[in-house]
Amino acid sequence: MSENKPVPGTGGDHYIPYSERSGAESVVFFTRKRTPEGLVAIYDRISSVLTGKVAVKLHTGEPKGPNIIPRPMVQELFKERLKDAAIVETNTYYDGDRYYTEDHRKTLKVNGWTFAPVDIMDEDGTAMLPVKGGKWFTEMSVGKNLLNYDSLLALTHFKGHVQGGFGGSNKNIGIGCADGRIGKAMIHTTPGQPNQWDIAKEEFMERITESTKATIDHFAGHVAYINVLRNMSVSCDCEGVAAAPVVTPDIGIAASLDILAVDQASMDLVYALPLLSRTDIVERIQSRHGLRQLTYMKEMGMGNDRYTLIDIDNGDAVITAEQAVEGISGKWTPDRYSRITV
């Protein structure tokens, strides 16, 4: 079933407005402060479930990648709140500077991830976690060292993605915790054929989501999610210096204890931007059927796509996505790639 054909009725290229959603609401916190202080402040709102030994799943990026979460932001969070935590990663499925553990560690040094332990979780092998209720998997292969932690913080750079349409908390965990040889192959590739990336669109989004479910079920409620909406290229951070130029305005940081709610709220913030400001990233999301990540998370019982958005910058006022992005716009020169934010 890996023919890249949409599964009827799933609509991964169709954005569902808030008014058309149903069900319970979760809480999503929001700040416009894309600073170390802003990150610490929003972390405090979702940190209560992070007990014991904490793993921080962060995309540490290719060498000198320009769009990853700035190191000073993450360093301040570790200094103030996560002194005993570790950054966790896995090796890549593609050949490059993070394919082998030795090279991966060199890349970590280049990008400045030296202020905290970094656990490349598949360095010592793999482990299988059950996938409950999946249609593609009954289990998922993850980095073995994931099992050494009691809690997980998904600290995610929200952006586009060449295959997934967008990368939020779901992608960060689903691809990022799957080990580099077995788990990522299970998600990306139909066995026995030569195209490493043949699985796409709805099926790909569903496979990512089932992988994510295996991990968050393992942590049994001890998971929190932060999405940083800045430097949102249509490219993933795995493209490094080759990433497409950023033309989408920065928005802020969203956080929740509900993975679907935080990814849905982040998507709603993007869709609430002025039309010209969101054109490139929305085209990337919809052309790859990336919105299927959201609807499948709901079908899998992983969270709510309705939420209360709390503005922590303004006395915890309840706001809409449209109110959160008021005053944000983007202007471009004719080549569309030299943005001036006003």
Q: DSSP for 193-231?
A: SS-TT---HHHHHHHHHHHHHHHHHHHTT-EEEEEEE-S
Closest C-alpha to 92, from 241, 197, 198: 197
Mean pLDDT computed over 106-135: 98
Task: State the burial class of residue 294 (Cβ atoms within 10 Å of its Cβ: 0-12, 13-18, 19+).
Answer: buried
Task: State the burial class of residue 297 (Cβ atoms within 10 Å of its Cβ: 0-12, 13-18, 19+).
Answer: buried
CA–CA gap between residue 236 and residue 231 (Å, rounded): 11
Predicted model pTM: 0.94
Residue pLDDT, tens place only, 177-219: 999 999 999 999 999 999 999 999 999 999 999 999 999 999 9
Counting runs of H as helices and runs of E as strands, what totals does the chain give?
10, 15
Average pLDDT over the chain, rounded to whole? Answer: 93
Q: What is the DSSP letter of 31?
A: E
Closest C-alpha to 11, from 202, 278, 199, 207: 202
Residue pLDDT, tens place only, 235-293: 998 889 989 999 999 999 999 999 999 999 999 999 999 999 999 999 999 999 999 99
Does residue 259 sit in helix, strand or coil? helix
User: What's at 198, amino acid-wise?
Assistant: D
Residue pLDDT, tens place only, 22-60: 999 999 999 999 999 999 999 999 999 999 999 999 999
pLDDT of residue 8: 44
pLDDT of residue 336: 37
Residue pLDDT, tens place only, 83-99: 999 999 999 999 999 99
Cα pseudo-dihedral 315, 320, 324, 328, rounded to 10: -150
Query: What distance, in Å, lies between the first and last C-alpha atoms of the chain?
Result: 47
Do 127 and 38 form a contact (C-beta atoms < 8 A)? Answer: no
Cα Rg, the chain, nearest whole Å: 18
Q: How far lies 243's CA from each of 158, 162, 169, 193, 342, in Å?
A: 14, 10, 20, 28, 24
Closest C-alpha to 69, from 209, 226, 223: 226
Q: Phi first, then psi: give them for residue 97, nearest 5 degrees.
A: -80, 5
**Structural domains of the chain, ranges and CATH numbers in brackets:** 24-341 (3.40.50)
Q: What is the DSSP letter of 11?
A: -
Statement: residue 333 has pLDDT above 60: no
Instruction: Give the H/E segment covering residue 268.
Output: helix 259-271
Closest C-alpha to 279, from 238, 237, 232: 232
pLDDT tier at 329, thresholds 50, 70, 90? confident
Q: Phi first, then psi: give them for residue 10, nearest 5 degrees.
A: -90, -30
Do 166 and 130 form a contact (C-beta atoms < 8 A)? Answer: no
CA–CA gap between residue 289 and residue 24 (Å, rounded): 25
Residue pLDDT, tens place only, 133-156: 999 999 999 999 999 999 999 999
Between 326 and 334, whose confidence is greater? 326
pLDDT of residue 10: 66
Do 324 and 269 form a contact (C-beta atoms < 8 A)? Answer: yes
Statement: residue 62 has pLDDT above 50: yes
